[in-house]
């Protein structure tokens, strides 16, 4: 698990903030959930990533490898960011701000 976290942090470090593309669905979710775009971007480039899960999803009929990233943003909240790494662009699919209760559920899953 730790190796995957380190690999993903290194991969994110290869992008600049100008190479971040937030998909329209994610922009709607940001507005609905009152999450600032600046918080999303600064968190994405922070080193507070503590959990990564790989996912295979279909997008426009093609398989797409996504990463669910969980960052600790304070003692009470975490930010879940779902991304896809492309050659020149890092696409942000979704973002969710969670509380301590949800974090406890993730901790149980991590320990499995």
Domains and CATH numbers, the chain: 2-111 (3.30.2310)
Q: What pTM value is reported for the model?
A: 0.84
Q: What pLDDT is stored for residue 105 in this prediction?
A: 67
- 55 CB-side CA count, 13 A: 14
SS3 category, 81: strand
pLDDT digit string, tens, across residues 22-60: 999 999 999 999 999 999 999 999 988 988 999 888 877
The first and second tokens of residue 41, run together, are: 């971007």
How big is the CA angle at 22 (ends 107 and 37), to the nearest 5 degrees?
A: 75
SS3 category, 86: coil
- Dihedral of CA 14/16/17/19: which sign? negative
Question: How far is Cα 11 from Cα 19, in angstroms, rounded to an integer?
Answer: 13
């Amino acid at each position: 698990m730790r190796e995957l976290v380190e690999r993903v942090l290194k991969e994110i470090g290869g992008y600049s903030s100008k190479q971040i593309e937030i998909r329209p669905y994610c922009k709607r979710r940001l507005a609905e959930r009152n999450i600032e775009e600046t918080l999303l971007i600064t968190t994405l480039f922070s080193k507070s990533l503590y959990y990564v899960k790989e996912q295979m999803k279909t997008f426009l009929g093609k398989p797409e490898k996504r990463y669910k990233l969980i960052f600790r943003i304070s003692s009470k909240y975490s930010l879940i960011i779902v991304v896809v790494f492309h050659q020149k662009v890092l696409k942000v699919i979704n973002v969710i701000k969670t509380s301590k209760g949800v974090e406890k559920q993730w901790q149980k899953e991590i320990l499995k």
